[in-house]
Structures are given as structure tokens and as C-alpha cells.
Structure 1
Amino acid sequence: MHILLTGGTGLIGRQLCRLWLGQGHRLTVWSRKPEKVASICGAQVRGIARLEDLGQDAVDAVINLAGAPIADRPWTHKRKALLWSSRIKLTETLLAWLESREQKPQVLLSGSAVGWYGDGGERELTEDSAPVSEDFASQLCIAWEETAQRAETLGIRVVLVRTGLVLSAEGGFLSRLLLPFKLGLGGPIGNGRQWMPWIHIEDQIALIDFLLQRNDAAGPYNACAPQPVRNREFAKTLGSVLHRPAFMPMPALALKAGLGELSLLLLGGQRATPVRLLKAGFTFRFTDLRAALDDLSSRL
């Protein structure tokens, strides 16, 4: 199978490349820095700067994961424009290219996030749930999904992966928590009651491969472990795994003052569950947070 990836040099994309190269697939990564793709993703992976560089080379599947990190810095007008462009405008460019192809791929698997639902409070959120509140993160995900879904009019199967908080020793949000927790300064955010839908990186990679291989997979899937936890429990568990105290709370007022609108992402949460994945027969390797963090602890 010839697979085209956007976001192929990111945390999830890199590991997908390793998996699919091992399975014998042919991989192409659309990147702003194509000359670095082989060193990051694997020597056999081709990097391209423009989609047109593929010519009429047939593509069987497109994995669309590109997007600037959403929580790296405050949401200024400039940052919001970048977040929007790196997802929606890039996907629109991808769609225009797909429309121009004589031989179209069978499937487009496009990234999204559980932030699609907004701050869900205590509601249990399944793929059938509607957005609860529309903050910027929710609006961004809604627009991203709606753009990707337009590929259905081209006869392409569209899968939407609403990812939770990915636990990995190679980067992502966990790496940003390590320093304060290792210094004994970790603890709950705000009142610590907000839900955190987490997922181990191995399960994230496995479920994307699972959905790619299933011809009947389409629409949204919550990519998070079946047992979300509250922020307070997450902090306590991470502190325990690192053998550090975790009782220093981050006051909500300080977050709002320092991060502005971005603080809503940290103070809110989603009690999301992967109903459709479980119904489709996907088996999670990590369903317990402590087990997931223990597995990563030697590499943290």
C-alpha cells in the first residue's frame, strides 16, 4: 500500500512510519522540510515539498495529521491564525489535490481531538454526543473535521480520529510536565476535577492502523482509553510513578492571567469514551493509567 502522510515527522507520524515500514508499505511524507524526512521517519520514506511532486503515482491512503501544537503558547490572534492555517487551510489544499487526481485513494484518515466537544464538565461524551461548548479549540476541531469530510463527495472513505492526551516518553504533553513534577512542584490544575481523556502512544498507533485496515470504518472515533481520570488523580498517579510529591496546585487565576484564553484548555476537560472503537472490536493494551505510566517510566 502507498500511504501519504501529512504531519509525518510529528510524535504520532514518526511511529506510524516505523510501524508501516515494518509492514512493507511504501510511505511518502508531505513536509515543509522534505530533506529531513528520511532521517526522522526512516531512510525508505520519501519526503516531498509539494503534492504535485507525486505526479500520477497512485496513492492508496492519506493520513492527515499536520497541525501546529495547540498548547505551546498563548492564543494570540497571530497564533490562532497559524493554528487554523496549519489544519484547515492545509486540509483544503489536500482536498483540492485529491479532486484533481484521476486515481483517488480509498481512504482519508484525518486528525482531530476530543476538544471537538468543548468543555464537557461531567457529561460522558461518546461519538454520538454534540459539542457541549464552542471555545476556540472546539471551533478549530469542528472546522477541521468538516473540511476533511468533504472528501466523501469524491468517493473517499473518511475516518476522523478525535485524539485525547497522548502519553509518550518521546514528546507531547507529558514531556512538559516532567520538570515541575521531578522538582516536586507538580500537582492538580485548578480544582483538579476536570476530566482527562488519555491514551498510551502504543494504543494510539495501533488504533490508527486498525481503522486504516477496516473497510467499514468511517466517521468519528474517540481515540482515548476507556477509563478517563480526573486531573487530580492524574497528577497523583504521575507523582507516584516518579516518586515525587504532587500536591502543589496551579491556581486557576494564575493560569488565566498567564495564558489567557489558552487556560480554558487546561481548566476544562472531556469525559470521553471510545464507544465506537470498542464496538468495532479494537482492544486497548493500556486501560489503567498507572499501568500506562509505569510502562513509560523507565524512559521518562
Structure 2
Amino acid sequence: MRIMIAGGTGFVGRQLIDHFRNPENMIYVLTRHPEKHKDEPYVKYIEWLTPDSQPEIPIQQVDVCINLAGESLNSGRWTEERKRSILESRMTTTREFIRIMDTLKTKPEVYINASAIGYYGTSTEKIFTENTIVAGRDFLAEVCDVWEAEAQAAEELGIRTVLTRFGLILDRNNGVLPLFALPYQMMVGGKVGSGEQWMSWIHIQDVVLAIDWIIQNKTISGPVNFTAPKPKRNKDFGKKLAETLNRPTWLSIPSTPVRIALGDMSDLILKGQYVLPRKLQDSGYSFKYRSLDRALDNIYR
């Protein structure tokens, strides 16, 4: 199987490369700086998004395309300039991915484009599944909405298109969990804001395994929620994390200082959504980590 990945040097991308790196596959990783990476067995780094790059020439034919590229949501306060950068980075990479696939004589079997459960907006009461077809109205929902619309241009090329709406991806060293765990490790952990906001999470291993599942199951298309079947409220997530780390949970972090420090980005922490992985479950995917207890035990013990 020939796989083309953008964002392959990031958190999820590195895990996917490790998963698919074997004699049966060839992985092409699109990067602006191939000189910073050394080709490995079954992995080749290809230059893209530079003035003279033509990644379609060395690649020529692929079976699977995975686009994870885009500026991180978690790397700083959401100023107006940064909001533009967050949106433009996703639109630019997606359009270039579509262009590359359009040039290929033999089209890939599937195009997997990253998205986020932020598409749904936030709520403490609603339950969201892929049947929720109206996007929310906050910044992240608007980004996901236009991003997904751009990615769906791949369908016009006759390519099965999947939009992976990622929840909070749990890993010991990457993503949101290390930041969330830090106060507990320092003995000052507790709920954030009201503590009632939902945290729809997924273990990194299930992210990788579910992407593999989607590649193999050709009936799956459109938006797919990447969340475990059992979301937790922030206060309950914190209690389980404290128990796993053998730390107390007794302080609360008020909403106001979080909003002052992070601006609109605080919505990622203070608001949430209850999201269920209906399509994955209906297709027969079996989560390796269905419960938060088991996920955190695997990560920390």
C-alpha cells in the first residue's frame, strides 16, 4: 500500500508512520523541509508548499492520502492574526493536497482529511453524532466547517473522502493531556471553570487503529467522530486523572483568569461537547480503550 501523508512529522502523523512502516507499505511524507529528515526504510520525505516543489513527480501513484497538516490550535493565544493563520494554513494545505491528487493519473482509493469535534460548537446538554449536520457558530466551528467543505472537493475527483473529527487525543507526552496533568502532578489539580463541560476524548492508539480501520472499510465516508464512547465531564476526568497519578484533587481554577490568559482559545478548556463515535461503532470498530480508566492506566502505569 502506498500512503501519502501531510503533517507526518506531527504528533498523530508520527504515530501513523510507526504503525504503517513495514515491507508491505511505502510512505511518502510531505514536508516543507525534507532536508531536516532522513529517509528511512519504507519512508521517504518529499518537499511540498515551496515555490518550486512538485511532489506529484516523485510520488506518481498512491493508494491512500492522509492530510493532517495545519497550524496547531494549542500553541498560543488566539489573536486575530493567529486566527487567520489557523484558517489559512488549513485551507492552503488542503487545496494543495487536492491539486496533487488531481494530477495523478491513477487516483487514490481514499482521502482522509483531519478535522475536529469543534465543528459542533459547544454544549453541556446536547449529544452530537455525525448526524448533526449544522456546524456551531464559534471560531473553531467555522474553521472546521469551511475546512471540511474544501476537503470535500476530493469527492468530485471520484475519491472516497473521510473527515476525521478528532476529539481530545490522549498521550503521555503529546497533545492536551500533559498540560492538563501538570497541576495534578504539582499537587494543585482540580476542576477548571464549572467542571461541568464535557471532554470527548480518545486514546492515541485508537486514533491510529481507527484510521487503519477506515482505510480497510471502503463503505465509510464523510465525517467520522474520533472520540471514545464514554465522554467525561471535566470534574470527573480530573478525579480519575488524580486517582491514576495518586494525587489530590482539591483546588479549582476559575474561568476568569483562564479567559484573560487565553482569550477565545479558552473555549478549548472551559467549554466542551458530548460527542459519540456513531459511525465507527456502526461499522464494527472495537475500541481498544473504551473507558477513561483503562486509557489513563495504560498511559501512566
Once the two structures are TM-superposed, the CA of residue 23 in structure 1 deviates from its matched residue by 6.4
Q: Indicate the residue corresponding to 1:240 in structure 2.
A: 243
Question: Pick from 42, 53, 56: which aligns with 2:55?
Answer: 53
Question: Which residue does 1:103 correspond to in 2?
Answer: 106
Letter in 2 for 1:13: G
Matched, 1:230 2:233: yes
Tell whether the 8 Å contact from 2:230 to 2:290 is kept in structure 1 after alignment.
yes
For 1:24, the equivalent position in structure 2 comes to 24
Residues 1:87 and 2:85 aligned together: no
Letter in 2 for 1:219: G
C-alpha distance in 2 between matches for 1:16 and 1:290? 24
Give me the whole-angstrom Cα distance separating, in 2, the residues matched to 1:15 and 1:163: 15
1:169-216 CA-partner distances (Å, limit 9, x unpaired) = 231111222322210122111000010001111111100000011111
Cα shift readout 1:227-284 (whole Å, capped 9, x = no counterpart): 0000000111111111111222111111111111111221111100001110000000
Q: TM-score w.r.t. structure 2 length? A: 0.94
1:192-231 matched pairs, under 5 angstroms = 192-231=195-234
Q: Paired residue for 1:134?
A: 137
SS of structure 2 residue aligned to 1:215: coil
Structure 1, 96-105 or 23-32: larger mean CA deviation: 96-105
Q: Is the 8 A contact 2:5 2:27 kept in 1?
A: yes
Distance 2:288 2:18 in 1: 19
Is structure 2 residue 7 aligned with structure 1 residue 7? Answer: yes
Partners of 1:144 and 1:31 lie apart in 2 by: 20
1:22 partner SS: coil
Contact 1:119–1:132 (CA under 8 A) maintained in structure 2: no
Q: Which piece of structure 1 moves more, 171-180 or 197-206?
A: 171-180
Structure-2 residue corresponding to 1:286? 289
Shift of 1:112: 0.6
For 1:123, the equivalent position in structure 2 comes to 126
Structure-2 separation of matches of 1:134 and 1:48: 37
Letter in 2 for 1:53: P
* Partners of 1:187 and 1:95 in 2: CA distance: 44
Conservation of the 8 A alpha-carbon contact between 1:164 and 1:199:
yes
Q: Is the 8 A contact 2:115 2:166 kept in 1?
A: yes
Q: TM-score, normalised by structure 1?
A: 0.94
Where does residue 76 of structure 1 map in the other structure?
79
Provide the rounded CA distance (Å) in 1 between the counterparts of 2:222 and 2:133: 14
Mapped to 2, the partners of 1:297 and 1:139 lie a distance apart of: 35
Give the Å deviation of 1:70: 0.5
C-alpha deviation, 1:102, in angstroms:
2.1
Deviation at 1:285, TM superposition (A): 1.0
Hey, what does 1:265 align to over in structure 2?
Answer: 268
User: 8 Å contact 1:137–1:265 — kept in the other structure?
Assistant: no
What displacement does 1:22 show?
Answer: 3.0
The one-letter code sitting in structure 1 at the alignment partner of 2:132 is S
Equivalent residues of 1:166, 1:173 under 8 A apart: yes
| Residue aligning to 2:42 | 44
Shift of 1:36: 3.3
Residues 136 and 23 of structure 1, relative CA distance in 2, 3 Å threshold: farther
RMSD over aligned Cα atoms:
1.5
Question: Which runs of 5 or more structure 2 residues have no equivalent in the other structure?
Answer: none
Q: Please tell me the residue identity of whatever aligns with 1:44.
A: Y
Distance in 2 of aligned mates of 1:136 and 1:127: 20
Task: Write the letter of the residue equivalent to 1:31.
Answer: T
- Whether the 8 Å CA contact 1:58–1:103 is kept in 2: the answer is yes
1:178 aligns with 2:176: no
In 2: Cα distance, 1:214 partner to 1:132 partner? 26
Counterpart pick for 2:279 among 276, 280, 287? 276
Q: Is the 8 A contact 2:65 2:112 kept in 1?
A: yes
CA contact (8 A) 1:29 1:37 kept: no
Moved more, 50-59 or 171-180: 50-59
Shift of 1:122: 1.0
| Cα distance in 2 between the residues matched to 1:145 and 1:214 | 21
Preserved CA contact (<8 Å) 1:162 1:220: yes
The one-letter code matched in structure 2 to 1:157 is: R
- Give the SS at the match of 1:248: coil
SS of 1:158's partner is: strand
Aligned residues: 296
